[in-house]
Amino acid sequence: GSADAPQLGGEGPAIEYVLKMRQFPQSQLLSTLQANGELTAAHIDEMAQQIAHFHTHAPHVPLEHHQGTPEAVMEPVRQNFEQIRPFLSDKADLLQLDALQAWAEASFTRLQPLLEQR
């Protein structure tokens, strides 16, 4: 399409992008900072503050909505284990995955009352 008659998936160059990601230097990736010995506790604290702020101010799902239940929160965690397991064959890796899954389930059981309050 054209600017006068735009078309989704049309021919020619894009007129306007729907989303433009903010770019930052790759040297600032946490993995790069860590590999270079430059990752500090202050970086982690700042990131934790930003994540906490995001979660504090994120819209809440209504209580009656199925996505607001503790089980709905836990389901993707369980799916992760189901999806990862077929890719592992080493016994040590499988044992580690089992331990992690047991920890996740125990944590969910312990935190379920708190999740129900949210």
| Region of poorest pLDDT, from 7-21, 40-54, 60-74 | 7-21
pLDDT band at 18 (very low <50, low <70, confident <90, very high): confident
Domain ranges of the chain: 1-58, 61-118
Cβ atoms of 62 and 68 within 8 Å: the answer is yes
Q: Helix axis angle, 70-84 relative to 91-117, nearest 10°? A: 170
Angstrom distances, CA of residue 21 to CA of 48, 53, 72: 22, 21, 30
Q: Which pLDDT value is given to residue 83? A: 97
pTM value is 0.54
Cβ atoms of 16 and 28 within 8 Å: the answer is no
d(CA 98, CA 56): 32
Q: Which pLDDT value is given to residue 102? A: 98
Query: 3-state SS of the chain: helix, strand, coil percent to 5?
Result: 65, 0, 35
Q: Which pLDDT value is given to residue 57? A: 92
